[in-house]
Amino acid sequence: MLRDIREDPLWYAGILARRAWATLTLSKLLPRQAVDGRSFAAATHDAEGVTDGYYGMTLGADFVRWGRRTLEIPLPLIWLAPLGLGAAAFARGPLAREARTAWGVLLCVALAALPAPVLITTASALVFNGIAFDSGSDFRYGRLRLGNANGSQLVPMPVLMETQYWLGAPGFVTNAADHCTSIASANVAMGTFTGNLAACETAVSGGGTLTAGRRTLLLATPGNANDGSVILTANLGAAPSGTTCTVVGGAASPAAGADRAYLQGNWAGPLYDDNPGARATFGTFKGAGEVIFMRENF
């Protein structure tokens, strides 16, 4: 969307003008009633849903409660009272002083309701791309994590992938509010093979959009004689890095960049610029964690 705005700013200016007119006059609703939150007609384009979502996060100054119903009225009608007070404040008469006081209060409330810019302090200058919010506008300091996995080489192996955010004393926790981060299978590099496991004897699948902050990758069955391990690395940069296999027996291909550098962590050093990685091991079994000693008799 940002690319479209840069290429055709007049197109975007026209959208803003039409949106302003629709917001002020509610003309988009006619002949419908603006009742109980039905403030916009159904979206006819994908971009409209994003724009309407922004309006859903703004202050509902034109919402009026009437019993159990919520009504929405055109903003010019709301402006009549402030305009009347403003006229009385600058006129001469016994009510001028009280009108000026009321006008000042309304002005302070209006200024307080305006959206304020968010200042993010960093150690060095950074350039941020646009961030689209699908619900609310919470900023969370987070990262992407891959979980280690082990199991038999005769069955597919699930590998947990999740987004986390810093919660303080508990540390990093799963970001259950994340339903939009997307990591494709082709973004997961495979390398450092050990044992009898070689490149493309297993393949990664299951990538896509996270649900409640989690998604499960799946490594294909490598086969009876192909026990060993592989290091999985989510390539969160913009450029390809490493190689991956998405088809067993196929050729290795470059692991594409997911362009999600803001989800990198301090996995290998003090700076948060490391891609998350995990080890998947075929041919080993974890067993029960509560067992201290076990012996088998034949």
Q: Which amino acid is at 135?
A: S
Cβ atoms of residues 183 and 244 within 8 Å = no
pLDDT at position 160 is 96
pLDDT at position 215 is 96
Q: Mind giving me the DSSP string for 178-199?
A: ----EE-GGGEEEEEEEET--T
**Which residue carries 């050729």 as its tokens?**
251
pLDDT at position 219 is 97
Q: What is the CA radius of gyration of the chain?
A: 28
pLDDT at position 116 is 47
pLDDT at position 235 is 97
* CA dist., res. 70 & res. 22, Å (int): 19
Domain ranges for the chain, please list them.
2-113, 142-282
pLDDT at position 254 is 96
* CA dist., res. 240 & res. 259, Å (int): 10
At a CB cut-off of 8 Å and minimum separation 6, what does 51 contact?
15, 19
What CATH number belongs to 142-282? 2.60.40
pLDDT at position 36 is 47
Cβ atoms of residues 202 and 282 within 8 Å = yes
Question: Mean pLDDT by 10-residue block, N- to C-terminus, for the chain (298 residues)?
Answer: 69 72 57 48 50 45 60 60 64 65 64 51 62 63 93 94 90 90 96 95 95 95 93 95 94 94 91 94 72 68
Q: Is 280 exposed, middle or buried (0-12, 13-18, 19+ CB in 10 A)?
A: buried
